[in-house]
């Protein structure tokens, strides 16, 4: 049953069942973006809790101008990036944004057998990873990413280009004959 205005009022009033319904409906997508932005599952779980507390705190300010999921998603991205900044990962990222060739090239000679794109993403530099997740998976524009990360639109495009180039290399085994996972036509079979 979809979350609706009545549930929203109850959730604002502190009704646990309404809050749980909201969480159940949106947690898979909200938590997914948190997980993708972090490369550490424990950290992602902690940040996810923070994200949900922020969503619940901000519920009274939700005006219904956009879909609830879109509104909550924006909170998730902001909160996650803030949390990453706090633990100094973004500081590193911001340096990387200027020149992340060290990290990306450092890895270029190594052979990764990434089983999935999720694992492959952990091999990206923090900057490239963030831009890739926000642009290619979450659908942000380069302008929006620039605002979020405090970089230029061109910087975002550059990061995305590097991210995709590296992912194509990291995921190459998916088209190798010896691979157990194949990309054929439109089919993509995720590893079990």
Partner 1 sequence: MSHLSEEQLDQIIAAERSREQAPLNEWRTVAARAREEGLIRDSQSSRRWASSQPWLQSAAAVLLLVGGVAIGRATIALPSAVEDSTVSATPPAMTATSANKPSGSAPSSASFASVDEASAALNQAVDAYQRASEFLAVNNASVGSGDSVAMYSARAAALDKIENATVSALRTAPHDPVLNQYYLATMGARVATQQMVARPVGLRGF
Dist. CA 83–CA 123, nearest whole Å: 20
The span of 66-74, 140-148, 153-161, 184-192 binding partner 1 (CB under 8 A) equals 184-192
The reply on whether position 158 binds partner 1 by CB under 8 A is no
**Least distance to partner 1, CB of residue 97, Å:** 21
Options 76, 128, 131, 174; binder of partner 1; rule CB under 8 A:
174
Options 53, 87, 91, 102; binder of partner 1; rule CB under 8 A:
53
Options 13, 87, 91, 102; binder of partner 1; rule CB under 8 A:
13
Binding flags for partner 1, 110-139, as an x/- string (CB under 8 A):
-x-----xx-----------------xx--
The binding site for partner 1 (CB under 8 A) comprises 4-7, 9-10, 13-16, 19-20, 23-24, 27-28, 31-32, 34-35, 41, 44-45, 48-49, 52-53, 56-57, 111, 117-118, 136-137, 164, 167-169, 171-176, 183, 186, 188, 190
């Amino acid at each position: 049953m979809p979350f609706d205005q009545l549930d929203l009022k109850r959730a604002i009033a502190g009704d646990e069942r309404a809050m749980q319904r909201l969480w159940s409906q949106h947690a898979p997508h909200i938590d997914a973006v948190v997980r993708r932005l972090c490369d550490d599952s424990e950290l992602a779980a902690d940040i996810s809790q923070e994200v949900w507390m922020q969503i619940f705190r901000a519920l009274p300010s939700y005006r219904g101008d956009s879909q609830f999921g879109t509104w909550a998603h924006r909170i998730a991205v902001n909160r996650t990036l803030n949390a990453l900044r706090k633990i100094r990962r973004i500081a590193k990222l911001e340096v990387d944004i200027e020149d992340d060739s060290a990290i990306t090239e450092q890895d270029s000679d190594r052979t990764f057998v990434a089983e999935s794109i999720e694992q492959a993403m952990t091999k990206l530099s923090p900057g490239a990873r963030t831009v890739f997740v926000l642009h290619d998976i979450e659908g942000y524009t380069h302008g929006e990413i620039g605002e979020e990360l405090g970089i230029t639109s061109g910087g975002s495009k550059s990061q995305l280009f590097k991210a995709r180039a590296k992912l194509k290399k990291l995921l190459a085994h998916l088209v190798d004959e010896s691979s157990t996972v194949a990309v054929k036509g439109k089919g993509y079979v995720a590893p079990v």
